[in-house]
Chains A and B, each alone.
Chain A
Amino acid sequence: MDSFRLWLHGHGNGEAVFPLSLQEISLSKLDFSIVIERWADLLHGVLFTLALSATGIFFALVIGVVGVAMRRSGSRLVQVPVIMFVELIRNTPFLVQIFFLFFALPLIGIRLGPTVTAIIALAINGGAYSIEIIRGGVDSIPRGQVEAGAALGMSRRQIFSDIILIPALRSIYPALTSQFILLTLTSSVCSSISASELTHFAQRIESETFRSFEVYFTITGLYLLISWLIMAALSALGNRHFSYPNQ
């Protein structure tokens, strides 16, 4: 019971350990000028997060497509590494993955900067989930499509890339889009290795000014904006490539 109370309330003898009680946050005391003063840092953070997410999404998509192609190959030797990769990534926390890349790899001589580490971590994490999503799309393609390609003399690889891939991506595009939005939001975890994305700047501004509410209120809005931008970009991409009429 004691340990339960400790878990629930922390070490404060049963009292919650919030720094401020709710009454202390009143509109008259809010001061957003500090946020406005640091607009350049925040803009830098937004642009960096956008670039980080877009790069991560691009490579996640590449990993997803290549992974599914490997998964469909006839050889167990090619399939098994993909299955293991997906299992490993989907069943471990992202924070641990990024720490592993950033802190553990240097011990075996691979030293990566925070930005590169962040991109790799987002790409492999998003890629593992993409493999499973895209695989579902590929499975939904009627067998007749594959047979039509085969009957024309096309190879397995050509059938995958020219016949199956686009309809498969189209069928799971909404799920893939929400996975990529999740990737965008997960990029905030990269602040833990000081990649200079939006949350990193927010933490810095907050620690210098102690204006927690104003700072986090602002970046909440900014993340909403970033998500909308990414979603708009993905939907434009989808309209461009997947807008053919269907039966």
Chain B
Amino acid sequence: MKAANMPSEKQLSVSDNEVLIELKNINKWYGGFHALKDVDLTVRKGERIVLCGPSGSGKSTLIRCINHLEEIKDGSIRVAGKEIDKAAKSIEAVRREVGMVFQSFNLFPHLKVIDNCTLALRRVKGIERPEAEEIARKYLDRVHILEQADKHPAQLSGGQQQRVAIARALCMEPKVMLFDEPTSALDPEMVKEVLDTMIGLAEDGMTMICVTHEMGFARQVGHRVLFMADGEILEETTPSEFFKNPQHERAKAFLGEILAHH
């Protein structure tokens, strides 16, 4: 397989798919700070998007708007055909379609690994415990951590916790997965196990939006790289184009910084 051909092949395979996420003219303010400026984003089923950019550029804010963890000032958000409005019901409906993995794992410390995974299945989807546990075991097995099912989060390493967090999100069988710097809080030796899990998901065709600085990951699985700075998407291209031939000055400077450390 020729690496240079991969992005275009990847792109072709999803370009006709249905649109899963459609953000239009998103504006977000933190007090007087304009965090997102007229951002548009369309994500098709099966597409894998890597969001990168300097800190404070709005990339985390952008993906947190998709499941309404951040409230937007104006613009429209449609996920899997459902539009988010102010009503709690519409927000919860969209959240059921969207899985999210956080930088700091955010596992529930008082619940065992298995119960972390079954909680939303039981409470949100109303699935009885035995069936919920069956689903949870399936996804824990998929992230290779089934043997830790009866432990509490604090008894696991960071990498293991993050894999549980991925399994917990997968249990809800979301149409799209959002990753908000999933490896930034990890010790270096644990980054690989989490990235491998994410690559596995990508190979299974999961639609993914990843905020990450792992450029190897971006190159390997991304269909598109979006480069953000100051609340705007400055560059939107294939990973190979982005790394080979960044257009914007900010992107060149950013890549220089990142690659100097790798």
Contacts and interface: CB of A to CB of B under 8 A. Distances in A.
Contact of B109 (A149, A152, A153, A244): A244
A167 interface: yes
B69 to A, nearest CB: 5
Highest count of chain B CB atoms <10 Å: which of A147, A148, A155, A246: A148
A162 B99 CA distance: 19
Contacts of A152: 95, 119-120, 124, 168-169, 172
A151 B100 contact: yes
A166 interface: yes
Contacts of B109: 167, 244, 246-247
B154 A245 contact: yes
A145 to B, nearest CB: 6
Contacts of B67: 150-151
Nearest to B89: A155
A120 interface: no
Contact of B69 (A142, A145, A150): A150
Summarize A's interface: helix, strand, loop or mixed.
helix
Contact of B104 (A144, A149, A162, A163): A144
Interface string B220-252: 000000000000000000000000000000000
B123 interface: yes
Contacts of B106: 142, 144-145, 147-148
B63 to A, nearest CB: 11
Nearest to B112: A244
A156 B108 CA distance: 16
A72 interface: no
Contact of A245 (B93, B98, B152, B172): B152
Given A144-B104, A151-B99, A155-B92, A162 B152 contact: no
Interface string B92-125: 1101101110101011111100000001100110
A151 B96 CA distance: 8
B88 interface: yes
Q: Closest 4 A-B residue pairs measured CB to CB?
A: A152-B120, A148-B106, A151-B100, A144-B106
Interface string B148-177: 000011110000000001001100100000
B120 A153 contact: yes
Interface residues of A, number: 24
Given A147-B69, A147-B106, A154 B154 contact: no
A153 B102 contact: no
A158 B123 contact: yes
Nearest to A246: B154
Contacts of A247: 109, 153-154
A145 B104 CA distance: 10
A150 B71 CA distance: 13
A244 B152 contact: yes
Given A144-B104, A155-B92, A244-B110, A162 B154 contact: no
A144 to B, nearest CB: 4
Contacts of A166: 110
A150 B66 CA distance: 13
B69 A167 contact: no
A155 to B, nearest CB: 7
Nearest to A242: B110
Contacts of B110: 166-167, 170, 242, 244
Nearest to B103: A144
Contacts of A167: 108-110
B92 A153 contact: yes
B69 A151 contact: yes
Contacts of B69: 147, 150-151
Contacts of A142: 104, 106
Contacts of A163: 108, 119
Contact of B155 (A144, A147, A170, A245): A245
Contacts of B104: 142, 144
B108 A155 contact: no
Highest count of chain A CB atoms <10 Å: which of B106, B124, B168: B106
A158 B107 CA distance: 16
B119 A162 contact: yes
